[in-house]
Structure 1
Amino acid sequence: MTNQPLPQVRRIVTGHNAQAQATVWKDSLISAASAEHGPFLTRLWSSPQLPPDVNGTEDLGLANTGLANQGTICRIVDFPPKSPGMVHRSITLDYIFVLEGEVVLTLDDGSRTVVRKGEMVVQRGTMHGWDNETESWARLLCVLIKAENPVVEGKRLEAEVPFQV
């Protein structure tokens, strides 16, 4: 992946026909959103509320959700080689699965944890960042779900996002 365009992701979305049978509603290749310095985000799907409404006809993979919304977000995040992340907090419960390469999970307590292909992180509204310190691309599958604000010692923590998605 180093000197070539990021691969597209095939996204298959199901729905129902008039007879209430399951059908393939969409089957298409999705490209990453270009970014000057990465990471690159590929929007796969989102829902603007919980529980999600599965009856709509809008392609919610095209929704501009920002980093978080009031429902769910599923995306692929590609990190170029030797790219530092930015520490941030979203008010979400995140399931992060490393599909390719490895990243370093950095937390605001100073800890750094290497996460490799096939491993996953459950991210619970903490200040965190992702660094790719290798010479290869890293690819993460990220599922974000709206959460209640964390409360520590009676203090309600808020989102802290020093960048735009």
Structure 2
Amino acid sequence: MTSSLPPNKRYIATHDANGKSVYAPSPDQVYRSAGNAGSIARSYSVANIPVEMGHEEDIKAYLAGPESVSSFQRPEIVVPTEGGKNFGSNLMVIDLKPGGYSGLHRTVSIDYSICVIGTIIHELDSGERVTLKPGDHIVQRGTNHRWINGSETEPARFVAVTLPCVPFDIAGKQLEEVHTPDESGYKPKL
């Protein structure tokens, strides 16, 4: 793990053979480097909505090897795909290192992102920004954006849920996923 923040605990509630609600075994989250930003963990993911939970199919897929919804797959803030179409969802934990920032990116999804620790700046490609404190959140609707830790000395964390959306027209172009490489010499203003 590349974060100085303590790892989250993830609990997966399910049912036993008698129909009682119980917690399923759940391994520690797998954090991966997110470059200039910090680290990211895919806390849970499903391949399709509605979710197939019978016989714990969703849990089995998540705990399996490097599949599109697996905890072991390199986590991206991208919705799992099937045949080029988005069908599933992700629950992500993103830790921004002090002074950390992401590149500009856009996904074919609606995302709910909630600041839980620290100060986080959400910046749009238009240059508009908002500063999030714990509890503040963004409804991300396919816009091109970046995440910036608002502190040079303290880490920050946000939690995001990504859900697929139907691509739509934006100023004459169909919404598509875009990840802009880090700009050489870019330094966010805090």
Give 1 or 2: higher strand fraction.
1
The ranges of structure 1 where at least 4 consecutive aligned residues each deviate by more than 6 angstroms after the TM superposition are none
Q: 1:16-165, aligned counterparts within 5 Å?
A: 16-55=15-54, 56=57, 57-58=59-60, 60=62, 62=71, 64=73, 66-68=76-78, 69=80, 70-134=87-151, 135-162=153-180
SS at match of 1:51: coil
Count of aligned pairs: 161
Cα root mean square deviation, aligned:
2.2
Whether the aligned pair in 1 keeps the contact of 2:120 and 2:148 (CA below 8 Å) is yes
Query: Any unmatched runs of 5+ in structure 1?
Result: none
Give 1 or 2: higher helix fraction.
2
SS at match of 1:136: coil
Whether the aligned pair in 1 keeps the contact of 2:101 and 2:149 (CA below 8 Å) is yes
- Cα distance, 1:89 vs structure 2: 0.2
Distance 1:12 1:101 in 2: 24
- Cα distance, 1:81 vs structure 2: 0.7
Distance 2:22 2:11 in 1: 10
Query: Any unmatched runs of 5+ in structure 2?
Result: 63-69, 81-86, 182-190
Structure 1 residues 58 and 51: alpha-carbon distance in aligned structure 2, compared to 1, 3 A threshold: same
- Cα distance, 1:38 vs structure 2: 3.5
Q: Show CA shifts across 1:16-37 (max 9, x none).
A: 2222222211245324224554
Whether the aligned pair in 1 keeps the contact of 2:122 and 2:129 (CA below 8 Å) is yes
Distance 1:101 1:150 in 2: 34
SS at match of 2:101: coil
Q: Partner amino acid for 2:60?
A: E
- Cα distance, 1:79 vs structure 2: 0.2
Q: TM-score, normalised by structure 2?
A: 0.75
Q: Show CA shifts across 1:31-86 (max 9, x none).
A: 42245544211221000111111221415151525332231100110000112321
Structure 1 residues 34 and 107: alpha-carbon distance in aligned structure 2, compared to 1, 3 A threshold: closer
